[in-house]
Amino acid sequence: MRDHSTSVTTYTIKSAMAVESICLFISPPGVDVATRMVVPKGFLVLSSKELASGASAQLASADRFELVYQLSSDGETSCISLSRRDAGTRVAVCDMYVLDRTVKYAHHCPEIQVSGMRRIANHIIKKKQLMYGLRFVPTVIPAYADVDACRGVFGAIRACKAYTPVESPYETHGQACFKTFNHFNCKSVSRILSSFPDQTLGFARGVCLNVAALHVSPHVSQDGGQRLIVAHTLQDVFIEKRAFDAVKKLCTFDAGSTRESGGPNANVLTIATANGVVRTRLVSVDSATRQTLAEGGVRTRASSAMYVCLNVNGSVSLVADVDMAGPGLRTSEQSVSDMLADDSLHGALNRLRFINSACAYHAELRPELVAMSLVWRAVESARSSDDYQNSVKFMLAKDRTPAIHTFACHDLCLE
């Protein structure tokens, strides 16, 4: 967590906001009946309009307890402080800090049990979450089209020395909060799901978040952009110039045209960012462009839909169940030994990307996904003694949709 400086201005949340509420239950030692504190659910809407960086607002009070919401001086970290009045003196009970999707608790009176703080954290995360642009580096992992080869890599990862995960004061709330992502477009998720008919709705939602993050990414391909970024794995697929030109033409077709007037079938994707709302189009690949891509080696494993999205940097995202064993497909690959030997943070993420990509590609490997994710966490947890990084790694091991790639880039690599 970053700066938790003291407040300079104080606002009071109006009691009228308590129509919808969150309840805290506070149980001091030796007390049979817990104190019930009602927190207005609309506090964040009001505070986001009124609170300046470094300011605080009283959320609720009950008995001798008081709950205060405070913004850090840089406006990035929210702090929820619960305190108790004893003989006119304020005694801190617990503090909860929220930054992006990560929550840190500081228990000053561990003998006082408090329940309900997690719901407040979820409310803050859901309300404030934005899509960040990435310092995007295309994923380069070993080939995973051969299921037996994947099992061999899984075995090698299991054989790596595992460590007992370090206990952390942080908690990460991850993918569950993104089900109510700001301006999340359900129609886009439905279209994406048609590209992966044997996958789950959560998988499609994760791909949609990847498309959004890629769209606002500053990354530009070094070779002039004649490649597609596979949205669910973040891999680069190289294509010929005529195929890339055909895709770009499809993406840049007059947005005001309709399908009836000859325009492509497209769906608007609305993205909430720190710089405001951005809109882009998820465009269905027509049969002619699909054939051009197939001639260059880019085809799907079945006759499922393909979609493309033109990003602000000129790159193109591809939503498709790409046949990674197809003839003529050109993509960068990494050796298994290099992936296992890479002790950097990027190497750790690539190992998790391999696990997720292999299990998404091979239905028979999916029952191993949970166990392999936990193995990954156990192996990687000791590579950094930083509590925050360990907490994020725990989130990544739990949240296994494609969006873990983009969240990992932001949460672990943006410093």
pLDDT in tens, 263-287: 578 888 887 777 788 888 999 999 9
Strands 21-27 and 10-12: unpaired
DSSP 8-state secondary structure symbol assigned to residue 295: H
- Tokens of residue 247, six digits: 């895709």
278: helix, strand or coil: strand
Give the whole-number percent of the chain exceeding pLDDT 90.
Answer: 33
- Residue 227: its pLDDT value, please? 87
Backbone angles phi, psi at 152, to 5 degrees: -65, -40
Tell me the Cα Rg of the chain.
24
pLDDT band at 4 (very low <50, low <70, confident <90, very high): very low
Residue type, position 353, single letter: R
CA distance 358 to 190: 23
Structure tokens given for 164: 């007992």
pLDDT score at 14 = 32
What's the token pair of residue 346?
């990027």
* Distance from C-alpha of 358 to C-alpha of 354, rounded to nearest angstrom: 6
Res. 8: pLDDT tops 60: no
- According to the model, what pLDDT value does residue 119 have? 83
Query: What pLDDT, in 10s, does the model give residues 11-69?
Result: 333 333 333 678 889 998 888 888 999 887 777 665 555 677 888 888 889 989 999 98
Range of lowest pLDDT (69-73, 160-164, 216-220) = 216-220
- For residue 257, what pLDDT band results from cuts at 50, 70 and 90? low
**Coil, strand or helix: which one is 126?**
helix
What is the percent of the chain with per-residue pLDDT over 70, rounded to a whole number? 80
Distance between CA 116 and CA 114 in Å, rounded? 7
Q: What is the mean pLDDT of the chain?
A: 80
Q: How far apart are CA 238 and CA 330, in angstroms?
A: 5
In this prediction, residues 338-352 reach a mean pLDDT of 88
Tell me, what DSSP letter sits at residue 232? T
- pLDDT of 152: 96
Higher pLDDT, 412 or 35: 35
What are the beta bridge partners of residue 171? 103
Is the pLDDT confidence value at 261 over 50? Answer: no
What integer pLDDT is reported at residue 3 of this predicted model? 33
pLDDT of 259 reads: 52
367-409 pLDDT, tens per residue?
999 999 989 988 887 666 577 777 778 777 877 778 776 777 6
Contact 300, 323 (CB under 8 A): yes
Name the amino acid, one letter, at 357. S
